[in-house]
Structures are given as C-alpha cells and as structure tokens.
Amino acid sequence: MGNILLKGILAGTKIKDILIKGNTIEQIKDNILLSPEQEKDCKILDCSGKAAIPGFVNMHTHSAMTLTRGYKEDTALQEWLQHIWAVEAKMDEEAIYWGTRLACLEMIKTGTTCFYDQYWMPQTAMEAVKEMGMRSVHAFVALNLKDESKNRGIMEGMEQMYSQSRSWGEMHKMSVGVHAPYTVSDNLIKWCTDFAREKKLTVHIHMSETEQENLDSIKLNGCTPFEHLEKLDALGPETIAAHCVWLSENDMDIMAKYGVTAVHNVNSNLKLSSGSRFKYNELKERGVRVCLGTDGCGSSNNLDMREAMKTAALLQKGWRRDPLALPLNELLNIATANGADALGLDAGRIEEGKLADIAIIDIDNYAFVPNLDFLSNLVYSANSSCIESLICNGELIMEQRRVKGEREIIENARKVCNKLYK
Ligand SMILES: [Zn+2]
C-alpha cells in the first residue's frame, strides 16, 4: 500500500494538501513538502479544481437486487413483492456474486465507500465486495414468517456465518439481520438479540416502513412495533432500524432511550408509497442518530447516495413547509459520519487520524459555477458524474471515473439476468 498526496484540494472551505499514509489520513496542511525519498513511495495527485468529501456510507441496501432494477414498475406493493420473490427464488451464487459486484460498481461510481447490506448468501456477497476494494457490513437475514420450525436452521446458519466472518478481515463485518417484527417470531427476535449482544454485532431490522404494518402490530400485540421490541428487550445501541416512516411520539422516545439508530430510505419510501413524513427534526431533537440509505434497486432503482441526499432534503423542506429543514451540513453528516459512527468505523470525516475514505469531486464544471456554496452545488446542482475518483482504506478504487473490471461486471451481470428473466 503506497502513500497518496492530494495537492491543493478544496476540503471544507479551504484549499489544503492531504497526505494519506497506509489506510489513514496522516496529515492535512496548507502545503505538505515531501523529501525526494518520501516522493518515491508516494502517488502525488494534482487536485486543483477538485474538492474532497468523505466517502458516503449507504446504511441500508440489498445490493444484489441490482438485478431486479426496473422489474414490474407501477405495480401495487403486495403484487410487486410476489414478482420480486419469484425472481429472487432463482438467484444462485453466481447471481448474488455478479449482482453484488454490479452494485459495488455503481456505488463506487457515485462516491460510496462503505455499505450496510441485508441480503441472501452474505459470504458470496462479501467476496464480491472484497474484489472491489470497498468496506461492507453484511447482515445475515433471519426470516421465519413466524414458523418456529425454521428457527433451528436459521440459528445454525447465523452461527456458521459468524465463524466464517472471523476470517473476513478488517474491511468486512458481519451483522445480525432480523427482517422485520411482522415476519420474524418473538422467539427468534429474542435469540437474534442475545446472539448479537454476546458477539458484539449490530442488528439490522426493517421497522415501521408502512402504516399497515403498524396497524397490524397494534391489532396483534396491542402496541406499535417499537413498543413491541421494547417489551422483548430487543432494542439497544446495536439496533440499526431501516425506514422508520411511521413513528409515534412514544416510538421516538423509545428509540432515544435505547440509543437506536434510524436509517432514512427516502427514494424507496416515496416510490413504494410507504410514506413521506420522515420525522427528521423530531428524531434529531431527541438525540436519535439518523443515517441515510438507498434501499435495494428493486424499490429505489439506484444506489446513488448523492441523489438520496437531494431527495431527503427536498422532502423535509416540502412536507414541513420549512426551507430551513435538513440543512446542508447535517445532510452530509447523515450520508457519511453518522453511518460510520453507527457501524463503529473511525471514518466518515476528513480529519487527521481518520480512515482514508475520500471522494474526489471535479468542481471544474458548469454545476460548480459560481462556487459560492460547494455542498449546495454538489447536492442540488450537480449529478454524480462529478465524482471523479474514490479512495477507500487508502487505496484508489476509482481513478478518473475508471473502475477495475467494469466491462466484465456489466457483461456478466447481463448474462445472469438473461437466465433470471428467460
Ligand atoms: Zn430494505
């Protein structure tokens, strides 16, 4: 692993030099001078006309669902799910592998360095991500549709995945995935929670995504999904809850009390008509950590975090009728630092000592003229083709928009899809 020096790059509001040593941001200074000896071991990039932001952390996706992109559009949710499940039933290891690599290709091209995945065959998915040089966290999905006879197999699978994940290395982590309270029995939720706490793993769960799911929970359990999980002692700082669209005041108090992280999946929620009033301000006021995710390509169609930032901000400003809602600095944090914090990664910020996960933005183009407010231009004016290079763990995984293996990935993903949809 060589060193990288970013010369004269806009970082925050100032032009700086950034020296990356190994996988860490070693130094940020006005002018870093290297000795001839140091220069030999360093890739020096002239970054005039460029800006640096932390790589995005996509906190909720189902990566190999890239292969279901655009399938059965404009269909009601339950009918759409039947179609998607039929395709998913045909996905073998080869499909998961190329679907995940296709997802990584897209995420790299749009500036993401780390993602939280919840999908089938996590070992295969992890191998695909490793090939691409990104960070990832893979939730092993527990889903028994309340049929307790399935628990044993799921528990064994979880334990086996845990042993395998011991050899995954620093860049990839395992997580416990509980699909949702309406698809997983209380016994299995409790077992998953205990397992995660014992092994010090995060728990990834879909929560209060639709209004119907909350109404059903009230009918069945006499309380909301969050209240139900509290009764099961299944909430804690390890809980990372995707969606959280339908929250009561008490739900948000509970989330704050147990240190639960919320993941906003704005494009998916809008496209599936799940709900549009994500309660960002109310969660923030209570000190609940909010992160951003794209969800899978089945419902969000792309994995573009910059686009998700834009929709998230427009949505908050729109439904609240408040132009001050979700300001730019908070928007960048929910897409970067907050996700890194939730996953226990020392990344998500461009500061000395942090992991070197950096997106380099080309600001020498129309969308950044005038450059009165860089973040505003990035989110509201540009598109993600302005993301020119990407550094993950101190390695350049995209340089000048080129990603290793791009043609091969596209061709193989197409071949796999020909089999899935024949
Ligand atoms: Zn999801």
Check whether the bond before 36 is cis (ω within 30° of 0). no
Nearest to 317 by CA among 308, 326, 328: 326
Cβ neighbour number for residue 160 with a 10 Å cutoff: 12
**H/E segment holding residue 9:** strand 3-11
8 Å CB contact between 10 and 51? yes
**In whole angstroms, how far apart are CA 171 and each of 90, 208, 327, 350?**
29, 30, 31, 19
CA of 58 to the centre of ligand 1 (A): 12
Map tokens 């993602």 to a residue.
115
Contacts (Cβ under 8 Å, ≥6 apart) of 320? 281
Name the superfamily (CATH) of residues 3-54+350-406.
Urease, subunit C, domain 1 (2.30.40.10)
Distance CA 195, CA 306 (A): 35
Contacts (Cβ under 8 Å, ≥6 apart) of 205? 177, 178, 179, 180, 181, 239, 240, 241, 242
Contacts (Cβ under 8 Å, ≥6 apart) of 203? 175, 176, 177, 178, 192, 193, 196, 234, 238, 239, 240
- What pLDDT, on a 0 to 100 scale, did the predictor assign at position 1? 60
Residue ranges of domains in the chain: 3-54+350-406, 56-342
- What pLDDT, on a 0 to 100 scale, did the predictor assign at position 75? 87
User: What is the model's pTM?
Assistant: 0.97
- What pLDDT, on a 0 to 100 scale, did the predictor assign at position 157? 97
CA of 362 to the centre of ligand 1 (A): 32
Burial 369-382 (b: 16+ CB within 10 A, else e): eeeeebbebbbeeb
CA of 60 to the centre of ligand 1 (A): 6
Q: Directed axis angle between helix 328-335 and helix 305-320, to 10°?
A: 130
CA of 412 to the centre of ligand 1 (A): 25
CA of 395 to the centre of ligand 1 (A): 29
CA of 372 to the centre of ligand 1 (A): 37
The torsion region of residue 314 among left (phi > 0), alpha (psi -120 to 50) and beta comes to alpha
- What pLDDT, on a 0 to 100 scale, did the predictor assign at position 356? 98
CA of 300 to the centre of ligand 1 (A): 10
- What pLDDT, on a 0 to 100 scale, did the predictor assign at position 78? 79
**H/E segment holding residue 44:** strand 42-46
Query: Angle at Cα 272 formed by Cα 219 and Cα 187, nearest 5°?
Result: 40
Q: Is 79 exposed, middle or buried (0-12, 13-18, 19+ CB in 10 A)?
A: exposed
CA of 214 to the centre of ligand 1 (A): 16
CA of 150 to the centre of ligand 1 (A): 22
Per-block mean pLDDT, blocks of 10 residues, the chain (422 long): 91 96 97 92 96 98 96 87 92 98 98 97 98 98 96 98 96 97 97 98 96 96 98 98 97 98 96 93 98 94 98 97 97 98 98 98 97 97 98 98 97 96 88
Helix (H, G, I), strand (E, B) or coil at 336: coil
Distance CA 141, CA 157 (A): 9
CA of 137 to the centre of ligand 1 (A): 14
CA of 83 to the centre of ligand 1 (A): 16
Helices (H) and strands (E) in the chain — how many of each?
17, 16
Chosen CATH of 56-342 out of 2.40.50.140, 1.10.3720.10, 3.30.2130.10, 3.20.20.140: 3.20.20.140
| Beta strands in 211-294, from DSSP E residues, in sequence order | 239-243, 261-264, 290-292
- What pLDDT, on a 0 to 100 scale, did the predictor assign at position 173? 98
Query: Angle at Cα 313 formed by Cα 309 and Cα 315, nearest 5°?
Result: 115
Distance CA 111, CA 361 (A): 9
**In whole angstroms, how far apart are CA 284 and each of 80, 174, 238, 317?**
33, 28, 18, 15
CA of 97 to the centre of ligand 1 (A): 19
